[in-house]
């Protein structure tokens, strides 16, 4: 009996978001004059895996993204978020238009993630819009930034490092102090969309108390 030939393995990238992340990582690496081997050593990953990520054939976890951002000296949200197409920057002000963004939640592929940069202030407040259909939780932590998250659409589950969990739906929000490890995930394949704002923890501590 003839043996059935094995199906060839797919060589296509995972999805558009994986391709974007790979291109972003490669741009950051080359801008610093690092070879792939040097970059892999810097971020504590294997060179073959970094190669897969840069070509869009593998995806960094949120925890890995935080480690990469720390090694490169940039903020995690700035690493994974798409830069706005329409932005107006003025002294002490930043305006970002929404025309180029669409929500990926309806009909999105299972496990997909997309992030866009919103308005920000240099070295201070940074807003992002994050959407995902990923039902697998990943723990992450903003070591030196406080975080506020508002659910725009869908449903997600938030789990803290003490094991407590909350299910959040459209209109719900949460805030976490810097250094608090946590995870969130989509409750089902319908996914969710959130507004996330991070700000350096010291920025709030330096504000003088309000009088009167």
CATH of the domain at 71: 1.10.260.40
Structure confidence at residue 8 (pLDDT): 44
- CA 69 → CA 21, 72, 93, 129, 195, distances in Å? 13, 5, 25, 18, 20
Domain end residue (candidates: 28, 48, 80): 80
Are residues 76 and 112 both part of a single domain? no
Residue 5 within a domain: no
Structure confidence at residue 16 (pLDDT): 75
Structure confidence at residue 133 (pLDDT): 87
Are residues 105 and 196 both part of a single domain? yes
Torsion sign over Cα 13, 15, 17, 20: positive
Are residues 124 and 28 both part of a single domain? no
Structure confidence at residue 173 (pLDDT): 97
Are residues 116 and 198 both part of a single domain? yes
Backbone phi, psi, residue 123, to 5°? 70, 5
- The answer to whether residue 134 scores a pLDDT higher than 70 is yes
- The answer to whether residue 181 scores a pLDDT higher than 70 is yes
Number of alpha carbons in the 13 Å side-chain half-sphere of residue 14:
20
Q: How far apart are CA 50 and CA 144, in angstroms?
A: 26
Whether 117 and 77 have beta carbons less than 8 Å apart is answered as yes
Question: Average pLDDT for residues 146-172, to the nearest whole number?
Answer: 93
Are residues 70 and 160 both part of a single domain? no
| Residue 38 domain boundaries | 16-80
Whether 121 and 200 have beta carbons less than 8 Å apart is answered as no
H or E, element range at 27: helix 16-31
Structure tokens that stand for 198 in this block: 């991070």
- The answer to whether residue 126 scores a pLDDT higher than 80 is yes
- The answer to whether residue 150 scores a pLDDT higher than 90 is yes
Residue 4 within a domain: no
Are residues 116 and 36 both part of a single domain? no
Are residues 31 and 127 both part of a single domain? no
Structure confidence at residue 205 (pLDDT): 47
We report the CATH number of the domain holding residue 174 as 2.60.120.10
Question: Average pLDDT for residues 155-182, to the nearest whole number?
Answer: 92
More confident residue, 8 or 63: 63
Residue 90 within a domain: no
Q: How far apart are CA 26 and CA 48, in angstroms?
A: 14
Q: In the structure, what pLDDT confidence band is assigned to residue 101 with cuts at 50, 70 and 90? A: low
Q: How far apart are CA 12 and CA 10, in angstroms?
A: 6
Q: Which range (32-46, 52-66, 98-112, 185-199) has the least confidence?
A: 98-112
Are residues 115 and 69 both part of a single domain? no
Whether 153 and 103 have beta carbons less than 8 Å apart is answered as yes
Question: Average pLDDT for residues 66-92, to the nearest whole number?
Answer: 80
Residue 112 within a domain: yes
- The answer to whether residue 153 scores a pLDDT higher than 50 is yes
Whether 132 and 109 have beta carbons less than 8 Å apart is answered as no
Are residues 142 and 198 both part of a single domain? yes
Number of domains present in the structure of the chain = 2
Q: Is 0.75 surpassed by the pTM of this model?
A: no
């Amino acid at each position: 009996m003839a043996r059935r030939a094995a199906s060839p393995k797919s060589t296509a990238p995972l999805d558009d978001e994986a391709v974007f992340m790979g291109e972003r990582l490669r741009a950051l690496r080359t801008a610093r004059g690092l070879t792939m081997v040097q970059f892999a050593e810097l971020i504590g990953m294997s060179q073959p895996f970094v190669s897969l990520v840069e070509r869009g054939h593998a995806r960094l976890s949120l925890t890995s993204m935080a480690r990469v951002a720390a090694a490169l000296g940039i903020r995690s949200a700035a690493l994974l978020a798409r830069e706005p197409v329409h932005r107006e920057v003025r002294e002490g002000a930043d305006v970002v238009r929404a025309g180029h963004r669409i929500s990926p939640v309806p009909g999105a592929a299972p496990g997909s993630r997309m992030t866009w940069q919103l308005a920000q202030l240099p070295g201070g407040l940074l807003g992002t819009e994050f959407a995902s259909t990923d039902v697998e939780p990943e723990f992450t932590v903003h070591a030196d930034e406080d975080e506020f998250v508002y659910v725009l659409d869908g449903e997600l589950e938030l789990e803290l490092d003490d094991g407590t969990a909350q299910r959040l739906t459209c209109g719900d929000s949460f805030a976490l102090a810097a250094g608090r490890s946590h995870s969130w995930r989509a409750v089902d394949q319908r996914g969710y969309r959130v507004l996330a704002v991070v700000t350096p923890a010291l920025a709030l501590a330096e504000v003088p108390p309000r009088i009167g």
